[in-house]
A and B are shown apart, each in its own frame.
Chain A
């Protein structure tokens, strides 16, 4: 049954990409949940994370270190530290002074920030694609013959494991820890949380840092899987992750996870149906359709506009 195998293969590919979208989408959804703005620069944070990871890996390789666990740890750590710094600074510079103003103003500022970051990296590194060889070559092959098989690469397995662990850790943090409770309180009612003695400024900064760190994890995984990065990659991935967040219901963390997976799978099958060059059209089209027919997403709560 070649069709079944083909279907399974697309499903595996879709879920791999989708789980990384989900990680980035969490960043959008958490920020939106707390201060109700779209952090347009989040895609650029992802891009910067992928650069940091590549720099860490290449730097260590040049020093003669080639043990895989060490390289991976360095890539994750380096990327997380750098993007966290960016997440914090972006919030501090571009969003905090604008809190409480008209909704469009922070969004325009975010677009400006996104353009600024993209061009900073474009000038510092250059516009050429940078590639590194696959650190974990090799596949598991399931199936009886070359025509009927499902190939799962080691890299894909790593993507699944890492995203699963990060999502579980985040869920634990949000539901069980003290800071997580503060985050939820802020998402529920920012002013009230402030009155009850929660330092809301710190909590907002924390959500930006958490979002950036998750984007960094996704950046390491996705850029190692593709093997190529460039300064323009953040825009598209950012929009797709935003689509995932909207798909699942913006403001809801489980929604973002679900939305990412759904978008990844839809994209894989869409590319299969319409051809690879229409892959992005499928993602954008899905975004438009969701916003038209169910603006609250799969798990979102309807928002009531008050005077």
Chain B
């Protein structure tokens, strides 16, 4: 008893030391002087309550544990159901269903709903792209947003300085991002996993800092604004077309409706996502896709089998970057404005959180995770300031409880039947 009392006392003190000084006391600037005050009484009582709870919990841990084991359990998800859900063929059907819903969405959803769906599609694309690097090839890339930025700025700069349209710039943006991925990936992919993570993080930050500081080219912190929206075979969706162009509503003899533009952007995003899905699924069945997964599982075995790890990793890195470039150029077209602040490390972390939450390697998981991650903050506006807090906590909890993600994909395996 005295031992657990000591632990309990220590744990409660720890809770107080962690919570009270930094969370319970608030620094405020009054005039030019700094003052420190107690935070709201509710918060203080919460902290005291947590400490007390910790004390009781540590004191009675063994007994509570025993009681918990004895208590009747909630019925668990039958293993057959989860088995069925994680089967690749089931997931393929669910993906197909999701695509159907996505196709019908703009004709039933409101303007706001379509707009949010477009945002979700961008993140799905980024998630699928990062999934190649993190989920399939097992390389932790924390600078993914750098390639997103390269894609966005490629379109923004080409459109700003040379007046090129979206459809010309889209492949160029992909190529440019791929080029960056190749150049950056070539030297760093020799490094081991965790080093790679930090170096890519460094690269991502360098790209952002360069974009911010090269004011003569990129407009510095203000970025580039009034970027053209995509057109449909030369038909613009604006109210008034530019010189020598026709607008969509004039061509089809309809009244001008701003919803058309939103729906069109949504369909473009959907097209890009479908393209991404198609390409990745084809690649997965090619030797290169198999090699990615093999490399993730065991690099030494791969090398022993005569595969070249550098080339395999580089291809994953470059392809992932390409999709980020596509997503970036679409992002620039949708926003009409790019600034370096859209491409901070936090953005990389959100994309990573989507991949991790969904289950590394599982495409369906990533789609669902992207929907949840983008929709939840939109639905809970009043909690929006807690968004990043929840992301962080979720990443830790997922790693502890379900490192394989919410909806992982079953790997091919053999089982011995009794």
Partners in one complex: yes
A residues in contact (CB < 8 Å) with B? 37-38, 48, 51-52, 54-55, 58-59, 62, 78, 81-82, 85-86, 88-89, 93-94, 97-98, 101-109, 111-121, 123-125, 128, 130-132, 235, 239, 242-243, 246, 277-278, 280-281, 284-285, 287-288, 291-292, 295, 303, 305, 307
| CB pair A125 B352 closer than 8 Å | no
What number of B residues sit within 8 Å (CB to CB) of A? 59
The interface stretch among B150-158, B204-212, B374-382 is B204-212
B181-201 near A? 1/0 per residue, CB < 8 Å: 000000110111111011101
Give A278 to B212 CA distance when docked, in angstroms.
10
Residue B138 lies at the interface, judged by CB distance under 8 Å to chain A: yes
The interface stretch among B22-30, B57-65, B275-283 is B22-30
| CB pair A285 B206 closer than 8 Å | yes
Residue B264 lies at the interface, judged by CB distance under 8 Å to chain A: no
Closest Cβ neighbor of A56 among chain B residues: B21
Q: Which 6 residue pairs spanning A and B have beta carbons closest together? A: A112-B395, A116-B392, A115-B392, A85-B17, A109-B399, A284-B202
B12-47 near A? 1/0 per residue, CB < 8 Å: 001001100111011101000011100100000000
Give A105 to B394 CA distance when docked, in angstroms.
13
| CB pair B193 A103 closer than 8 Å | yes
21 A-B residue pairs with CB within 8 Å: A51-B27, A58-B35, A59-B25, A82-B18, A94-B400, A104-B134, A111-B352, A115-B346, A115-B349, A120-B389, A124-B26, A124-B39, A125-B26, A130-B27, A131-B29, A277-B212, A284-B202, A284-B205, A284-B209, A288-B199, A295-B190
A52 to chain B, nearest CB (A): 5
A176 to chain B, nearest CB (A): 28
Could you say which of B21, B194, B394 contacts A112, with CB atoms under 8 Å apart?
B394
| CB pair B352 A108 closer than 8 Å | yes
> Inside 8 A of B300's CB, which chain A residues have their CB?
305, 307
B residues in contact (CB < 8 Å) with A? 14, 17-18, 21-23, 25-27, 29, 34-36, 39, 134, 138, 140, 142, 187-188, 190-195, 197-199, 201-203, 205-206, 209-210, 212-213, 300, 345-346, 349, 352-353, 356, 385-386, 388-389, 391-396, 398-400, 403
Could you say which of B205, B392, B399 contacts A114, with CB atoms under 8 Å apart?
B392
Closest Cβ neighbor of A283 among chain B residues: B202
In addition to A58-B34, A85-B17, 7 A-B residue pairs with Cβ atoms within 8 Å of each other are A107-B140, A111-B142, A118-B388, A121-B23, A284-B202, A284-B203, A292-B187
| CB pair A82 B206 closer than 8 Å | no
Could you say which of A55, A97, A107 contacts B400, with CB atoms under 8 Å apart?
A97
| CB pair A62 B36 closer than 8 Å | yes
| CB pair B356 A288 closer than 8 Å | no
**Contacts A105-B403, A125-B27 given; does A116 touch B389 at CB 8 Å:** yes
> Inside 8 A of A131's CB, which chain B residues have their CB?
29, 34
> Inside 8 A of A113's CB, which chain B residues have their CB?
392, 396
> Inside 8 A of B394's CB, which chain A residues have their CB?
112
Closest Cβ neighbor of B353 among chain A residues: A112
| CB pair A89 B18 closer than 8 Å | yes
> Inside 8 A of B195's CB, which chain A residues have their CB?
246, 291, 295
Give A284 to B345 CA distance when docked, in angstroms.
14
B131 to chain A, nearest CB (A): 14
| CB pair B391 A115 closer than 8 Å | yes
Give A111 to B391 CA distance when docked, in angstroms.
10
| CB pair A278 B213 closer than 8 Å | yes
| CB pair A54 B34 closer than 8 Å | yes
B298 to chain A, nearest CB (A): 9
Give A62 to B26 CA distance when docked, in angstroms.
13
A74 to chain B, nearest CB (A): 12
| CB pair A55 B36 closer than 8 Å | yes
B193 to chain A, nearest CB (A): 5
Closest Cβ neighbor of A128 among chain B residues: B29
Give A119 to B390 CA distance when docked, in angstroms.
9
**Contacts A107-B140, A112-B391, A128-B29 given; does A82 touch B202 at CB 8 Å:** no
> Inside 8 A of B386's CB, which chain A residues have their CB?
119, 123
> Inside 8 A of B29's CB, which chain A residues have their CB?
128, 130-131
| CB pair A291 B199 closer than 8 Å | yes
Closest Cβ neighbor of A291 among chain B residues: B199
B194 to chain A, nearest CB (A): 5
Give A281 to B209 CA distance when docked, in angstroms.
7
| CB pair A116 B36 closer than 8 Å | no
> Inside 8 A of A239's CB, which chain B residues have their CB?
198, 201-202, 205
> Inside 8 A of B213's CB, which chain A residues have their CB?
277-278, 281
| CB pair B396 A94 closer than 8 Å | yes
